[in-house]
Amino acid sequence: MFDGIVPVWKEKGMTSHDVVFKMRKIFKMKKIGHTGTLDPEVDGILVVCLGQGTKLVDILMNGKKQYQGEIAVGIATTTEDAHGEVIKVVEVQEPIPSSVIDDVMKDMEGELAQVPPYYSAVKVKGKRLYEYARAGQEVERPKRRVQIEKFRRTSDPFYDPEQKIQKWNFEVECGKGTYVRTLAVDCCVKLGYPGHMSQLTRTASAGFNNKEAFTLRELEQLAKASNLNEAVIPLEKAIEGLPRINLTKDQFQEIRHGAVVANDYFNQKISKATALFFEDKLRAIYDRHPSKDDKLKPYKMFPREKVEK
C-alpha cells in the first residue's frame, strides 16, 4: 500500500481514466485518483494520487497548470481543437502582424470569463455538455471565471498562403477550470477570425513538471524491480505550498482524532488551510470552521503509524 502522489506523463490516445486503470494494476491497489482530466489527444503531466494521497486531490487541483500548444487561425471546429468537424472557415487574406497577436494575448491575461465548450464534461441540468452536443441539442452554458497568469506567443507566426491560415506556438499558465482550447478560440475571435487549438501539451501541474514525470512503461519497469517507492512522492512534499505548523506532543494528542479547537490553539491565527506536522509527518490539514469564526476544524486527516503516549 502506497500513500503519496506520482506525476505521470500521459501519452496521446489515452484517457485519464485509462491511466488510473493501468496504475491500479501496476501498484496493485484500488485507491487511486487523478487531479484533473486531460483530453485523450492531449499529452502531458497527470498527477496521480495513491492511498491517503487521494485526500489531496481537491487541494492539488487548485494549483496552477502550464501548457504549450499551437493556435490555428481561420478554421473553427466543433470541439475547438484539431479533432472536431470543421464548422466555419474564413480565409486569412494576409498575415496578422506579430505585434497585433502579442497585444491580444497580453490583454487576455488576468481574470477572464469563459463559456465552456460543448465537448466538455461540465454538467448542466444533470447532463454533461458533450451529451447535449452528441444529441445535437443546444443548452445555455454557464460562464465561469478563470485566472490566466501568462499567455504568450513562443514562435514566429507561420502564414500559409495556399490554405490562407496562420499558426503560432504559445505557452499559458492558468488556474483551475481553464479550458485552453476555449482560450485559443477566444484569442482568434479577438483577432477577427474563427480558429481552434491545433495542439496541446500540459507541461506542469500541481507544482510538478515534465522532468519529474514517469511514463507508464517506466513505472512498469520499476514494479518489476520492486522499486516503485522511487516514483512515489510523499504527502509531505505534495503539500509544500500550504502553511505549516509543527505540533507539540500535547497538541498532536488533541487533534489526532479530529478535535475542533480554538483558532488560537496553535499559538497563532489560521486564516486558510494549514498543514499540521508531528515528528516530520503530515497528520492533518485544518481550516477555519465554516460557521464558528473562533474555531478551527479538520479539513483532512492523515492517520499514520501509532505514536507512543
**Would you please indicate which residues are annotated as catalytic (active-site) residues?**
39
Here the cell at position 12 is 496521446
Tell me which residue of 293, 270, 162, 294 sits closest to 284, measured CA to CA.
270
Here the cell at position 55 is 485526500
Query: What is the rounded CA–CA span in Å between residue 254 and residue 183?
Result: 48
**Cα torsion angle, 259, 265, 269, 275, sign:** negative
